[in-house]
Structure 1
Amino acid sequence: MSRLGPLLRVYGTTRKDALAKLTEKIAASKRGVPIPSAQGSVSAYLTYWLEAVAVHQLRENTHTRYTACVNQYLVPGLGKKKLAKLTAKDVRTWLKQLRTTCQCCARRIDAGRDQPRCCAAGACCSKRLSPLTLAYIHSVLKSALEHAVREEEITRNVARNVRTGTPRPRRFEPLTADEARQFLAAVRKNRLFALYELALRTGLRKGELLGLQWEDLGLQTGTASIRRTLQRTQTGGLTALPTKTRASERRIALPSECIYSFQEHREVQEGEREAAAEEWRDNGLVFSTPAGEPIDPVNLNRSFRALLDRAGLRRIRFHDLRHSTATLLLEQGVELVVIKELLGHAHIGVTATVYAHVRLRLQRDAIDLLGHTLRDTAETANQLDASDDAPSCALPVR
């Protein structure tokens, strides 16, 4: 076998397994992807991992985010180090530097502005990465090194030995019950009223709503099958993809109000089909443009903000409609496992973590209610004791 650059070794539990790994690396080399080795740099391995491994395992948008993370943070910080010599101390020192360094300075953001207002102007704005961003960067490194361990390029994943702490979950502002009613009343005449009502009553994700097709609906049985999600990708534009996880592919019960809204919406869509005539693009989508084409998620966000302003409500994200559904259900006493199945979370722990603040508030309300009950009982007992001590002349006996 001819040598490909440095000496290439692969390992496997069987000869067939080792041969498969060798074939994969040779094919990657022919595509111009650097062959990783224990003596190679972290940068070379990350390039190989992104272009030969992660690209086949991740969604396109996720792979794009991983690539941006590698190019912006991992390669500049750790890229020159040898993969085999990377230590937990290196990772810990690098993360600390990311945590304490102004990103305007580190990434030369200010130098590219027309009017510098940070480092180039002599006044650092101290723009730091959020704990969530740091945790994400750390997780990308762990994923890459974990694959290196599986391929026996390194013996251990040193990134797993570094603790970054658990970041606080992203704060959200769900609608209250009064605000939800006000919102539904304000969008009643909108052509996409059925979409907004379904979002608020079932908590479906934006992509799941936009990817819903008429064949997915069972209006007679009152159910909907969630099978796909509509997303914009760099290569395919608006594309229908499988659901986020296996748990996200689910069947949900439709509220009676939504069934009636769907019937009205279908009549409106039929009218738009007739008006568009030959320009109609039949995609089978429940929610489409007046020409039958998929709705761009960005345009839906823009329309949603305009509706909130028109209704006199505070601005929230479209995704907060999903949080509003879960919050209102919890406040009505619905069990957490039912909400988990409705939202399509992979594990109930995700539901419990995201809505921990709601459960804490419900606990406090329950404790206050119990305290009120106990306090009333004690006061009643005191009143009874006082009546027992009353003089005999207080109540005449006949």
Structure 2
Amino acid sequence: MTTARPASSRRSRTRANGDGTIYQRKDGRWEAAGYVLAPGNTRKRVRVYGTTRNDAMTKLTEKIAASNRGLPVATADSTVSAYLMYWLDGVAVHHLRENTHTRYGAAIRLHLNPGLGGKKLARLTTRDVRTFLDGLRTTCQCCAQERDTDRRRCCAIGQCCEKRLSPLTVTYVHAVLKSALEHAVREDELPRNVARNVKTTTPRPRRFQPLTAAEARQLLQAADDDRLHALYELALRTGLRKGELLGLHWEDLDLHGGTATIHRSLQRTRSQGLTVLHTKTLASERRIALPTECINSLKIHQEQQQEEHQTAGTSWTHNGLVFTTPKGRPLDPGNLTRRFRRLLHGAELRTIRFHDLRHSTATLLLEQGVDLVVIKELLGHAHIGVTAGVYAHVRLRLQRQAIDTLGNALNPTDTLDDPPTAAVVR
């Protein structure tokens, strides 16, 4: 006689309503399926796969949890536009800095949605992506985004300005699309990332013209009477980024020990305005040695700031920043750029970017024979390959000098005397 299973046993094997179903396929993988919220306030049945039961169940649980929070879960039969918005606001937002998230959003809004947004995600092909990128390279953006209709210019008057995107921008848009589709592959929405099969031309690196040693001395001399003299001194002698300089606090400086700890950066964001954030990368968090000239100028700047504090009185803003306005408020990066351009003009120097001071530091150090590893640590690059790549032209010039020096040693001369004994080279 067959014994009936207890009721409690049957209930323990029954999944609750809304938890979905899970079973093992013939190929050995586990498949879980359930209903989730989809774009357009509809509900769709999604399927996820895993090598184990727990793996598949975990993936489905994550989708259902996101759906219960009101976040639409894109599926393969949704459009590229719907998936991009899901990825941007539901996934990328959690691991991107705000300014990077804003730039991703602009690339999606201005280029990806108009070009590919209407296509089904599951039917997107490599040819679609290649055709889209070719169009970006050749299409006038003034006409494509209809900027000429309201002002009666460009194609609206029959005289196209042919304002095309730079190769760097096209590569950036392609990178955003690849990142989004890569996440779709990880979520088992797509079998492969079709954007990875499209090869874009590597854009030429931006050519910068760093200051020569003579120009650097001329700049520092012109900045002697500037209230931000210590900032320019730090920028040129240590290669700190603009945000790192503006985010520097007095507690980060050890003027007696002659060191500075770099772990913050001042940035302007859309939601919070001027705000102090973590440095660009983990490698950017570093401790650097301060030159004697910087220590002296910082001490003078500290005394000057205390006088400004007394003058401002109760209107002074207490934030601990090293470089501030005369009333203690943070310095806007845009305002610093304009001040820097006026300083260059007053010093009768050619116009360069503020960031080129950082390049000038590295270039001058390389030309003085400083090891590339030391420069990498000073600049806070994540990998030495970044340092080597950015300053490849400088290293090539140094190689030429080394080759010429060797050539002079090998050229026959009338007074050349061989050593009495040959040294053993190991």
Residue 273 of structure 1 pairs with residue 309 of structure 2: yes
Higher strand share: 2
- 1:87, CA displacement in angstroms? 1.2
Aligned residue type for 1:151: E
Secondary structure, aligned partner of 1:324: helix
Aligned residue type for 1:182: Q
Residue 101 of structure 1 pairs with residue 139 of structure 2: yes
Q: 1:337 to 1:34 in 2, by over 3 A?
A: same
Q: Partners in 2 of 1:67 and 1:207 — Cα distance?
A: 23
Aligned residue type for 1:181: R
Structure 2 partner of 1:222: 258
Of residues 151, 175, 178, the one that matches 2:211 is 175
Percent identity between matched residues is 65
Of residues 286, 296, 301, the one that matches 2:337 is 301
Q: Partners in 2 of 1:224 and 1:98 — Cα distance?
A: 45
Aligned residue type for 2:362: A
Aligned residue type for 1:288: T
Secondary structure, aligned partner of 2:183: helix
Q: Partners in 2 of 1:52 and 1:3 — Cα distance?
A: 15
Q: 1:112 to 1:358 in 2, by over 3 A?
A: farther
Report Cα offsets for 1:286-336 as digits up to 9, x if no partner: 111111111010110111111111111111111110010011111111111
Q: Partners in 2 of 1:281 and 1:249 — Cα distance?
A: 26
Q: Partners in 1 of 2:416 and 2:245 — Cα distance?
A: 59
Structure 2 partner of 1:201: 237
Report Cα offsets for 1:224-249 as digits up to 9, x if no partner: 00011000011111000001100001
Contact 1:10 1:22 in 2 (8 A): no
Report Cα offsets for 1:326-370 as digits up to 9, x if no partner: 111111111111111111011111111111111111112222222
Q: Partners in 2 of 1:24 and 1:147 — Cα distance?
A: 18
Contact 1:10 1:21 in 2 (8 A): no
Aligned residue type for 1:101: T
Residue 91 of structure 1 pairs with residue 129 of structure 2: yes
Structure 2 partner of 1:76: 114
Q: Partners in 2 of 1:213 and 1:275 — Cα distance?
A: 21
- 1:108, CA displacement in angstroms? 1.6
Aligned residue type for 1:355: Y
- 81-90 or 296-305, which deviates more: 81-90
Report Cα offsets for 1:75-114 as digits up to 9, x if no partner: 111111111111111111111111111222212222232x
Higher helix share: 1
**TM-score, normalised relative to structure 1:** 0.91
Higher relative contact order (CA 8 A, sep 6+): 1
Contact 1:34 1:47 in 2 (8 A): no
Residue 7 of structure 1 pairs with residue 45 of structure 2: yes
**TM-score, normalised relative to structure 2:** 0.85
Aligned residue type for 2:299: Q
- 1:373, CA displacement in angstroms? 3.0
Secondary structure, aligned partner of 1:50: helix
Q: Partners in 2 of 1:382 and 1:206 — Cα distance?
A: 53
Secondary structure, aligned partner of 2:122: coil
Residue 64 of structure 1 pairs with residue 102 of structure 2: yes
Structure 2 gaps of 5+ residues are 1-17, 19-34, 38-42, 418-426
Q: Partners in 1 of 2:141 and 2:134 — Cα distance?
A: 13
Structure 1 gaps of 5+ residues are 384-398
1:1-398 mapped onto 2 (5 Å cutoff):
1=18, 4=37, 5-11=43-49, 14=54, 17-27=58-68, 30=70, 33-113=71-151, 115-116=152-153, 118-375=154-411, 378-380=412-414
Q: Partners in 2 of 1:11 and 1:24 — Cα distance?
A: 17
- 1:9, CA displacement in angstroms? 2.9
Q: Partners in 2 of 1:195 and 1:218 — Cα distance?
A: 16
Contact 2:36 2:72 in 1 (8 A): no
